[in-house]
C-alpha cells in the first residue's frame, strides 16, 4: 500500500505522519460506515463514441496503418453512467478491492465528488535499490466459461499473429528503453499469459540495473506512453489520437503510483474510471494493428470495462 502526501516544506515529519494516520483512519471509517449497496435506479448510460463512430475510428486507423504512417494505434472509448445522486468513490473502491486478481488498485480523490480510481494489471516500471522492473502487456482474450474453454482461449491468444504482433510492438519498445537506462537488461519472462478476472493478456517482464543514476521522473517520461496505451511509433501517435478520439483522456492511461528521490513504483492508469459528481466515466482502449476489425475491438473494450459494469449490476 502506498500513500501520496504533498509536502509544502512547512510541517515536521511527526505532524505529516499524524495527518496521514488521521486520513487513513477517516477512510477506514468511511468504508465501515458505507450503507448496503443497492442497484442504482434512474441510471442513464452514454457511449462515447457510439458504435458507428467507433467503426469509423477503426477504419481511419487502419488507413493510417496501411499507409505505413503508423504501425499501431490504441484507441480509447468510454461509457458515462449518470446517476440522480453523487457517486460515492469509496463504495466503488471497496467493490473493486474485493476482486481477486493480481493488479494495482488505486484511488486519487483531489476533492469531494471528484476521483480517479481503478484496478490496473499493468506495471509501467518499478525502481528498487538501483534496479528497474518493467512489464509489457498487450494482446487480449476473454476468460473462458470453464477450464477447458479458458485453455482454448489461452492457446488462441498465444498463436494469434495479430495479438502477438500487437504485443511485440510494446515489448520491443520497453526493451529498448530498458537498454537506454540499464547495463544488464534481462528478460525474466517472455510472452507468458497473465490471467485476470475477465480477460487474459500476453505479458513480458524485464529487469536491469540502472545504478541509481536516473531520476524516476526521467524514466517515467521515457516509458510513457508505451505502445500499449498510445501506439507506435510514439512520436507520431499524439496527433492521430487528438484528431480521432472524441474526448480528452485526462488521467486515463497515465502513470499512477509513488516515488521518492531514488525509488518508485508506477502502474498504468487503465481499467479505470473518473467519478465527476453524478457522472461515472468508465474507460477502455484497444490496440489497432493491420489485422484488427472494429467488431472484435469493441467486444474487447466491453470485457475490459467489466470490473466496473459488474459492480453496477450488483448494486
Whether 302 sits among the annotated catalytic residues: the reply is: no
- Cα angle for residues 304, 308, 314 (degrees, 5° grid): 130
Whether 235 sits among the annotated catalytic residues: the reply is: no
Sheet containing strand 255-259, strands side by side: 186-195, 199-209, 131-142, 123-128, 264-268, 255-259
Query: Measuring CA to CA, how many Å separate 139 from each of 65, 125, 192?
Result: 18, 19, 11
Helix (H, G, I), strand (E, B) or coil at 19: helix
Catalytic residue (one of 78, 79, 122, 304)? 122
Catalytic residue (one of 71, 72, 78, 304)? 72
C-alpha–C-alpha distance, residues 97 and 92, integer Å: 9
Catalytic residues: 72, 122
Amino acid at each position: 500500500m502506498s500513500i501520496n502526501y504533498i509536502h509544502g516544506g512547512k510541517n515536521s515529519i511527526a505532524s505529516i505522519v499524524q495527518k496521514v494516520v488521521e486520513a487513513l483512519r477517516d477512510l477506514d471509517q468511511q468504508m465501515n460506515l458505507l450503507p448496503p449497496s443497492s442497484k442504482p435506479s434512474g441510471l442513464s448510460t452514454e457511449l462515447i463514441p457510439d458504435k458507428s463512430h467507433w467503426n469509423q475510428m477503426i477504419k481511419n486507423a487502419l488507413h493510417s496503418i496501411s499507409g505505413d504512417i503508423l504501425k499501431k494505434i490504441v484507441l480509447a472509448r468510454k461509457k458515462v453512467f449518470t446517476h440522480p445522486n453523487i457517486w460515492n468513490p469509496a463504495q466503488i473502491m471497496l467493490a473493486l478491492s474485493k476482486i481477486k486478481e493480481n493488479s494495482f488498485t488505486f484511488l486519487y480523490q483531489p476533492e469531494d465528488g471528484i476521483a480517479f480510481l481503478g484496478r490496473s494489471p499493468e506495471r509501467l516500471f518499478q525502481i528498487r535499490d538501483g534496479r528497474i522492473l518493467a512489464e509489457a502487456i498487450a494482446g487480449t482474450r476473454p476468460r473462458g466459461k470453464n477450464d477447458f474453454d479458458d485453455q482454448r482461449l489461452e492457446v488462441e491468444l498465444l498463436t494469434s499473429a495479430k495479438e502477438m504482433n500487437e504485443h511485440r510492438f510494446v515489448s520491443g519498445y520497453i526493451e529498448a528503453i530498458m537498454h537506454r537506462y540499464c547495463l544488464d537488461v534481462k528478460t525474466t519472462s517472455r510472452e507468458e499469459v497473465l490471467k485476470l478476472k475477465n480477460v487474459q493478456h500476453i505479458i513480458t517482464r524485464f529487469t536491469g540495473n540502472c545504478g541509481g543514476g536516473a531520476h524516476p521522473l526521467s524514466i517515467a517520461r521515457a516509458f510513457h506512453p508505451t505502445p500499449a496505451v498510445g501506439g507506435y511509433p510514439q512520436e507520431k501517435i499524439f496527433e492521430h489520437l487528438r484528431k480521432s478520439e472524441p474526448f480528452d483522456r485526462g488521467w486515463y492511461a497515465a502513470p499512477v503510483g509513488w516515488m521518492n528521490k531514488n525509488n518508485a513504483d508506477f502502474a498504468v492508469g487503465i481499467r479505470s474510471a473518473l467519478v465527476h459528481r453524478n457522472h461515472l466515466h468508465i474507460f477502455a482502449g484497444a490496440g489497432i494493428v493491420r489485422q484488427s476489425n472494429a467488431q472484435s475491438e469493441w467486444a474487447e473494450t466491453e470485457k475490459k470495462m467489466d470490473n466496473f459494469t459488474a459492480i453496477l449490476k450488483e448494486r
